[in-house]
Amino acid sequence: MKALFIGGTGTISAAITRQLAAQGCELYVLNRGTRNEGLPSSVKTLEADINDESCVADLIRDMSFDVVADFIAFVPAQLERDYRLFAGKTKQFIFISSASAYQKPLSDYRVTESTPLANPYWEYSRNKIACEEYLMKQYREQRFPITIVRPSHTYDERSIPLGVHGSKGSWQVAKRMLEGKPVLIHGDGTSLWTMTHNEDFAKGFIGLMGNLHAIGESVQITSDESLTWNQIYTAIADALDVPLSAVHAPSEFLAACSREDFTGGLIGDKANSVVFDNAKLKRLVPGFTADIRFDQGIKRTVAHILAHPELQREDPEFDAWCDSVIAALDEAASAVRRSLAD
């Protein structure tokens, strides 16, 4: 198989790249070359900015592929560019959408590919929906051989997956745990969520590559494991070998008092209970299973981050915000108690 990845070094794509290289795939990655140091030696690089359409067109002028996958397309204009570049040059074009595009709030917590797409809370998700609509139009009218993949919360060894964190990533929450400070969990921590290790995601994705039954289809790839946010944070604390000290706060309150845009990622995504039905994926990729349980995968992630100080990006602004939110919740509870005592 001859494949081209636009991107190829991110959380989702890095594991796919490694597994394909190990299988002997003729794999090309097209990116700006700023994060290619970890690529397997067999992977061929095409160094360019995908947004420089004329440059990319020159690079691939005499090339064609069995599969082209774009991991860094977020708005329809980028898919329009991809169509101009790759129509007639690939047997399959895979777009990485997002499970956040599904209906919010959900009418049924069990999510399948037929769950309506509608997220009024998050522009990111609405853009992904518009991208899907554009590609389906090209499939129906031009027979452009598309496959749409919808990941949910996928993680790797480089970042701890969380519900609430600052703009510099998740390390500051882990640091608070290590220091014995309380951490914020949205809601009461009992809503259900799904975490998928990128190595498991890669197995499902590779099974869709070159799969004629996947053409014209939308497919979600997630673990079958459902966890509460309390369980997720407990597993992270266990991996750090510290007790969990948690403070629960309403999602709406966190979104209202944060400088970060929590409305989309929290109200429009993580605050909702979701349980994914992966029956369609398992029909298309017989034998697929997500093997890495979260409590096992997060231990690998934490060990890697603790061994790599460059991944430990501190965020004092977020740390101070957590302290102020927790203090405000304590003061509100105290004020109510005082009013009842009067």
- Per the CB < 8 A criterion, the answer to whether 10 and 74 are in contact is no
Arithmetic mean of pLDDT over the chain: 95
Q: How far is 19 from 79, CA to CA, in rounded Å?
A: 26
Q: What confidence tens digit (pLDDT) does each residue in 73-132 have? A: 999 999 999 999 999 999 999 999 999 999 998 899 899 999 999 999 999 999 999 999
Phi, psi of 248 (to 5 degrees): -95, 140
Using CA atoms, how far apart are residues 312 and 317, in angstroms rounded to an integer?
15
Closest CA relative to residue 107, chosen from 327, 273, 286? 273
Identify the architecture of domain 92-333 in CATH. Answer: 3-Layer(aba) Sandwich (3.40)
Spatial distance between the Cα atoms of 281 and 203, rounded to a whole number of angstroms? 11
- Residue 42 is predicted with a pLDDT of 94
The dihedral region occupied by 95, where left means phi > 0, alpha psi between -120 and 50, and beta the remainder, is beta
Per-residue confidence (pLDDT) for residue 234, from 0 to 100: 98
pLDDT confidence of residue 262: 86
The predicted structure's pLDDT at residue 334: 92
Query: Which helix (DSSP H) or strand (DSSP E) does residue 228 occupy?
Result: strand 227-228
pLDDT at 167: 92
Q: Could you say which residues of the chain have pLDDT below 50? A: none
Given a contact cutoff of 8 angstroms between Cβ atoms, the answer to whether 103 and 116 are in contact is yes
Alpha carbon distance 313, 273 (integer Å):
30
